[in-house]
Amino acid sequence: MEFSSKLIEKAVDEMSQLPGIGKRTALRLVLHLLKQPKEQTGFLSQALLNMREDIKFCENCHNISDTKVCEICANTARNHQTICVVEDIRDVMAIENTGQYRGIYHVLGGKISPIEGVGPSQLNISTLVEKVKSGKVIEIIFALSSTMEGDTTNFYIYKQIADSEIIISTIARGISVGDELEYADEITLGRSILHRVPFEKTFKNN
């Protein structure tokens, strides 16, 4: 792509480094900003800069937070003996939205992925193992996505804490609510039969 202006070219170059944004989309976004009042670009740039400069991570669970300890960890009404291990802040938000979980979280910051060059040392794994070894934890719930990377990460952590006397569980895999059986893949369907639950549970818990 040849641009008639270096300024546009630079803006498009930077924009298109974001994931899922190609040069064409970047140009569309940049031209949109040009049609809007100057303040909008100012607000956007400032919000991004402030976010990147001043963001903090909770000392305890590594969740993104504006304070040293995040709201969830600071909440004494929650069960601090149950830790749900998740990949990032989006998973915390998703589980919080269900309203079904009253324990705390541990945010790993990613999954072990040799393809993307992410090893265990880049993730918040050691602090999790320390927490388990401290003896204050009763249950660990793995809530990573059900992919090869997720399973690898689960297993890597499991091996380090398997000798502790705590309950280690993963979230249930099975048929999604509203799904038709005939379209479910066989692994999911197979697991959902193996891990069947007493029928009464389905209406008692909800």
Q: How far apart are CA 110 and CA 107, in angstroms?
A: 8
Structure tokens at 86: 């998740």
**132, two tokens:** 């388990």
Selected from 22, 51, 119, 195, the binder of a copy of itself by CB under 8 A is: 51
53: helix, coil or strand? Answer: helix
167 binds a copy of itself (CB under 8 A): no
Does the protein bind a copy of itself through residue 32 (CB under 8 A)? yes
Identify residue 202 by its one-letter amino acid code: T
Closest approach of a copy of itself to the CB of residue 80, in Å: 17
* Position 46 contacts a copy of itself (CB under 8 A): yes
Retrieve residue 133's tokens: 């070894």
Cα angle 55, 61, 67 (rounded to 5 degrees) comes to: 40
Report, in Å, the least distance between residue 95 CB and a copy of itself.
12
Asked if 179 is part of the footprint of a copy of itself (rule: CB under 8 A), the reply reads no
Q: Which of 22, 28, 102, 146 binds a copy of itself (CB under 8 A)?
A: 28
Q: Nearer to a copy of itself by C-beta: 67 or 79?
A: 67
Contact call for residues 71 and 52 (beta carbons, < 8 A): no
125 sits near a copy of itself (criterion: CB under 8 A): no
Report the residue number, 83 or 132, with the smaller CB distance to a copy of itself.
83
| Pair type for strands 79-86 and 139-142 | parallel
DSSP character at residue 199 = H
**Nearest approach, Cβ of 135 to a copy of itself (angstroms)?**
28
C-alpha 109: how far from chain center: 7
Q: Which residues bind a copy of itself (CB under 8 A)?
A: 1-8, 10-11, 13-15, 17-21, 25, 27-35, 38, 40-56, 63-66, 70-72, 88-90, 92-93, 96-97, 110
